[in-house]
Amino acid sequence: MSLDEHRASTREKLIRMANQIATFFHSKPRAEGVEGVAEHINKFWEPRMRRHLFEIIDAGGDGLDELVLAAAPGIRRPAEAA
């Protein structure tokens, strides 16, 4: 697998995971859902995963559920990798 293929695969997996979290929280009232998505990602995703998520968001968020995008301001943005 080339580096570009690995990056695409990682991107697709993160999008799928974030969207699965959002799918669960769509059953909640809007504010609770937004907060729940952010809280779950902050609690269970390591900084590297959150860094990659913000790369996707900063590039336009293509493929991400709108609830993930709405939760983005509440997700802790990790420091840039050295």
Through-space distance between the first and last CA atoms of the chain, rounded to whole angstroms: 24
Domain extent listing, the chain: 3-74
Q: What is the pLDDT of residues 10-24, one digit of tens each?
A: 899 999 999 999 999
Which two three-digit tokens encode residue 60? 């336009």
Q: Is 38 exposed, middle or buried (0-12, 13-18, 19+ CB in 10 A)?
A: buried
Report how far residue 79's alpha carbon sits from residue 48's, in angstroms, rounded to the nearest whole number: 9
pTM: 0.89
Q: How far apart are CA 8 and CA 29, in angstroms?
A: 33
pLDDT of 6 over the 70 cut: no
